[in-house]
Amino acid sequence: MQKRDVILEVKNLKQYFKTSRKFTVKAVDDVSFKVYRGETFGIVGESGSGKSTTGRSIIKLYEPTDGTIIFEDTEITGRLDSNTEKMLRTKMQMIFQDPMASLNPRKTVLNIIAQGLDIHKLYATTEEQDEMVYQMLETVGLSREHAHRYPHEFSGGQRQRIGIARALIMNPSFVIADECISALDVSIQAQVVNLLKLLQQERNLTYIFIAHDLSMVKYISDRIAVMHHGRIVEIGTSDEIYHNPIHPYTKSLLSAVPHPNPVLERHRKRVFYDKSLVNYDDGIYHELEGDHIVLATDEELKKWMVES
C-alpha cells in the first residue's frame, strides 16, 4: 500500500436480528476496521461467523443496529440525504454468490446490466446506453452478441461475469464480492479471480472479498480479517496472518485447510480451538507490529505472544 488513503471505515458495527420476543441473534457484534484505497480486504470465517452480514450491512442492505460506517469521508449510517444516497449507490457495488439467483431470468443481459444506468439516468440516448453495455461486456470477457440473450443461456462462469459487469458499469470505486466464486468450478474460479485482479489494476478498485476458501482469499487479498461468532478476531496482511497468526482461532482455521500437496498432507497436524477458553466480550483490539490487529484481553495476548 502506497499512501494508505482510507476509503471505508467501520466503527463498532453491530447488526442484531430479533428472531423472537426473547431471542436476539448477534450476527455482527462490535466490529471495527479500515479499508484502504486500492487494496483487497479479505474476510474469512466459517458459516454463521457474520462475514456476509458485515458486507451486507456496509452496503446498507440491512440497517445497522449500532455503529458508524464512513465511506469516502461521508457517514453512510442512518438516514441519508439524496446526494449521499446517490453517491453510495453508484460508488459502492456488490457481486453476489449465486449467479443464477442474482440475475433476473426474465430480463435480457442488456437490461440487467443497464438497470443501474436507468435508475440513475446516466445516459442520454438508448444508443449510448447500448454502447456502454457492449463495452462493459467486452471488458469482462464476453462479447456484444451476448447482450440480447437471457441468463439461462450462459454457463456459471459467464453468469458471474455478467454479475461483475452489472457492478462495474456504475463505475464504482468500491466493490463487495460476497462468495462470488464459491459456486464455480475450479478452473473457472481462476478465470474470474484473474479477471477481478485485472480490473482492479485498470480501474483502481477497492475490494472487500468475502469467502470461506482460505487459499483463494490469501491469493487475492492484501489484508485479511478473520471472523468468528460475529467478531473480527484478527486482522493483518495476508502474509502476516498466514505466517504469524496470533489468535488461536486463526491458527486452528489455518491448520484445517488441506493443501494440494500429498506429502505435506501426510504430516499436517491440526490445531484445536476451544472458544470457552477465550473471552471475546472483554477483548480489545491490540495493534501489533507489521499492520497486525488482534482481539484479546491483555493477559490473553501475553500468553499467545509467548506461544507463537
Partner 1 sequence: MEKLLEVKDLEIAFDTHNGSVHAIRGVSFDLYQGETLAIVGESGSGKSVTTKALMGILAKNGNVINGEANYMGKDILKMSKKEIVNLRGKEMAMIFQDPMTSLNPTMTVGFQIKEAVIEHNEVTKKQAKARAIELLELVGIDSPRARYKQYPHQLSGGMRQRVVIAIALACNPKVLIADEPTTALDVTIQAQILELIKSLQKKINLAIIFITHDLGVVANIADRVAVMYAGKIAEYGTADEIFYTPVHPYTWGLLASVPDMSNTDVELYSIPGAPPNLLYPPKGDAFAERSEYAMNIDLEYQPPMYKVSDTHYAATWLLHEQAPETFMPKVLEKRIELMKKEAEEYAKA
Using CB under 8 A, list all residues that contact partner 1. Answer: 46-47, 155, 157-158, 185-191, 193-194, 212, 214-216, 218-219, 238, 242, 252-254, 256-265, 267-268, 270, 273
Question: DSSP secondary structure string, 169-220?
Answer: TT--SEEEEESTTTTS-HHHHHHHHHHHHHHHHHHT-EEEEE-S-HHHHHHH
Backbone dihedral angles phi then psi of residue 206, each to the nearest 5 degrees? -110, 135
Q: Report in angstroms how near the CB of residue 191 gets to partner 1 at its nearest.
A: 4
Length of the chain (residues): 308
> Looking at beta carbons only, is 170 or 253 nearer to partner 1?
253
Q: Report in angstroms how near the CB of residue 282 gets to partner 1 at its nearest.
A: 25
Q: Report in angstroms how near the CB of residue 261 gets to partner 1 at its nearest.
A: 5
Q: Report in angstroms how near the CB of residue 95 gets to partner 1 at its nearest.
A: 18
> Looking at beta carbons only, is 29 or 222 nearer to partner 1?
222
> Looking at beta carbons only, is 135 or 215 nearer to partner 1?
215
Give yes or no for a contact between 174 and 4, defined as CB atoms under 8 angstroms apart. no
> Looking at beta carbons only, is 37 or 251 nearer to partner 1?
251
Count helices and strands (H / E) in the chain.
11, 12
Strand order in the sheet with 6-18: 24-36, 6-18, 66-71, 74-75
Q: Report in angstroms how near the CB of residue 128 gets to partner 1 at its nearest.
A: 32
> Looking at beta carbons only, is 4 or 259 nearer to partner 1?
259
Cβ neighbours of 213 (radius 10 Å): 14
> Looking at beta carbons only, is 58 or 223 nearer to partner 1?
223
Q: Report in angstroms how near the CB of residue 50 gets to partner 1 at its nearest.
A: 14
- Please report, for residues 56, 144, 169, the alpha-carbon distance to residue 140 in angstroms, rounded to integers and kept in the order given: 24, 11, 11
